[in-house]
Chains A and B, each alone.
Chain A
Amino acid sequence: MAEELVLDTPIRNWVLIPLSVVMVLIGVLRYFVSKLMRSFPVPDPKIVKEGQVVVRARNLRAGANFIPPKSFRARRFYFSNEENGLLHVPKGQAQNPQAQMFSDPNMAMDMMKKNLSMIIPQTLTFAWVNFFFSGFVAAKIPFPLTQRFRSMLQNGIDLSTVDVSYVSSRSWYFLNLFGLRGLFSLILGEENAMDDTQRMMQMGGFGFDPTKNLGAEKDSLDIIQHEWALPKFEHRAEAVLRKLVH
């Protein structure tokens, strides 16, 4: 790598800027399309109830010492008995989330819609970028970088002699794809930003099992030791009053 590469101004005018503008426009367009296709899922009563049960059981665990022993035992039995306790999940009935997804066409439909609005425009733009702009060196970043960044910045150019600080057009596309989130949150409002990375994580984390939550709550409720705190309060009240009177 001896001399500097000179980047032609038409490259800036016809590659660098159009690519960024197109990416922004596509992001905005996708936002509106997904807004159109978004459906508000009707919550499943069972799932809502399970969530509430967990909250209530957690309250019971946290405040157990504030209610009389009898009341506590009755509640614990109500939550965790083996016959019809709210937290008791019969073996084998624990729903496999995968199976649940297939049994509920709505869910699959929702996922499809989400994926469609994500994947189709992405493949199209990628194909478009590949077709028109492949092999360009589109920009140069003003600081030197190590060789490890080559795969990130010079995707599509297989020249090992080009300095790493030059950015190929395809890499510019990728940088835009992941780097425009901040701009979108400015344009479209904070929570509306199209967040591809987060969405991908969500897909990976799919398969969360709510029944596990119930089981864990049941176990911690079972081992709790009840010690009524109220007798202590009488002494504390005495102390408070003594201070007040004297």
Chain B
Amino acid sequence: MVTKTEETQLDRLENQVDNGGGGAWEYLCLVRKLKVRRSEKVLKHGLSILNDPKKRSSLGSEEWTLYEQVAIAAMDCQSLDVAKDCIKVLQKRFPESKRVGRLEAMLLEAKGSWAEAEKAYSSLLEDNPLDQVVLKRKVAIAKAQGDISGAIDCLNKYLETFMADHDAWRDLAEIYVSLQMYKQAVFCYEELILSQPTVPLYHLAYADVLYTLGGLENLQAAKKYYASTIDLTGGKNTRALLGICLCTSAIGQLAKGRSKDDKESPELQSLAVAALEKDYKQRAPEKLSLLTTALKSLKVSS
């Protein structure tokens, strides 16, 4: 996770570099450290260092790391020629390296020659069957080809070993949601909540899936998770506020026959409505009428 302070630091540095204030290398190091994806900038500033022999040689052995970083950024931007040049330099320097082999396979992948890339990755895996990057690239290939079930298989196999990797769980959850396999997605989101209980986005996504699944029990749980999202975000999340309203109305409809009323938090939804109205009044007054009609149709508006 990139924290707020790190992000502001990164943005400040990026601004400085963009305006010719120097510090390109520090910027690239920070990008690498935080693992953020700003390929265009990396490509631009990285190349400016690499094309300047004096700056390049002053990096010492870090030069090769920069080549790798620029190559990956170039592939991300589809500047395949640049990537090819970088990889060629690295290949010359480290002829036997697996890391360079990985880059070459990625280049094949970027070109779209899936079969060849797949073959290259498989041969890399033979040497080291636990190479996380390569295993993840295979998932990416399957996804790029539109082979969603293949991607799910790959991810499941990956997670069987690396079951503490929450990024993979997140990817899997999103795939399951896109395929409307909500029960599986619920499991993945639970896993995400377990690994990072204070990230409100996971609570929100979990609540969304539970609401979609329907059924009284799931709806009640969904409402609770919307509530926790509100708590974690300080009530700033519009989606969670709307979720509370939707859940309350759906629960009301389902529980109509039964006399059991929602005794847990009767005030929550009226408060949510009030918060929504206030928020809309402040930030988008012209859309307030849309909100009130929508809430009225849910029969929750006071």
- By a beta-carbon cutoff of 8 Å, the part of chain A in contact with chain B is 42-43, 45, 48-49, 52-53, 55-56, 59-60, 62-64, 66-68, 71, 75, 230-231, 233-238, 240-245
- Contacting pair B227 A233 (CB below 8 A): yes
Partner pick for A238 among B164, B194, B223, B268, CB 8 A cutoff: B268
Contact count A vs B, C-beta below 8 Å: 98
Q: Which residues of A contact B268 (CB under 8 A)?
A: 234, 237-238, 241
- Contacting pair B194 A67 (CB below 8 A): yes
Q: Which residues of B contact A242 (CB under 8 A)?
A: 271
**How far is A52 from B197 in the complex, measured between Cα atoms in Å?**
18
- Contacting pair A59 B195 (CB below 8 A): yes
Q: Which residues of B contact A234 (CB under 8 A)?
A: 223-224, 227, 264-265, 268
Closest to B162 in A: A52
Q: Is B278 an interface residue (CB 8 A)?
A: yes
**How far is A97 from B221 in the complex, measured between Cα atoms in Å?**
47
A-B CB proximity, top 8 nearest? A55-B164, A237-B227, A233-B228, A241-B271, A230-B224, A237-B230, A63-B194, A234-B265
Q: Which residues of B contact A52 (CB under 8 A)?
A: 161-165
Closest to A68 in B: B221
Closest to B233 in A: A240
Q: Which residues of B contact A241 (CB under 8 A)?
A: 230, 235, 268, 271-272, 274-275
CB distance from A56 to the nearest CB of B (A): 5
Q: Is B231 an interface residue (CB 8 A)?
A: yes
Q: Which residues of A contact B223 (CB under 8 A)?
A: 234
Task: Jot down 9 A-B pairs with beta carbons below 8 A, ordered by A.
Answer: A52-B161, A56-B163, A230-B224, A230-B227, A237-B235, A240-B231, A241-B230, A241-B268, A241-B271
**How far is A231 from B221 in the complex, measured between Cα atoms in Å?**
9
- The DSSP consensus for interface residues of chain A is helix
- The DSSP consensus for interface residues of chain B is helix
Q: Which residues of B contact A67 (CB under 8 A)?
A: 190, 193-194
Partner pick for B197 among A66, A71, A231, A236, CB 8 A cutoff: A66
**How far is A61 from B275 in the complex, measured between Cα atoms in Å?**
35
Known: A52-B164, A242-B271, A245-B274. A233 touches B197 (CB 8 A): no
Q: Which residues of B contact A42 (CB under 8 A)?
A: 128, 130
Partner pick for B234 among A64, A71, A240, CB 8 A cutoff: A240
Q: Which residues of A contact B161 (CB under 8 A)?
A: 45, 48-49, 52
CB distance from B176 to the nearest CB of A (A): 16
- Contacting pair A238 B265 (CB below 8 A): yes
Q: Is B112 an interface residue (CB 8 A)?
A: no
**How far is A193 from B177 in the complex, measured between Cα atoms in Å?**
51
Closest to B272 in A: A241
**How far is A193 from B47 in the complex, measured between Cα atoms in Å?**
34
Q: Is B129 an interface residue (CB 8 A)?
A: yes
0/1 per residue, B221-260, Cβ < 8 Å to A? 1011101101100110000000000000000000000000
0/1 per residue, B145-172, Cβ < 8 Å to A? 0000000000000001111110000000
Q: Which residues of A contact B230 (CB under 8 A)?
A: 237, 240-241
Of the listed residues A62, A75, A233, the one surrounded by the most CB atoms of chain B closer than 10 A to its CB is A233
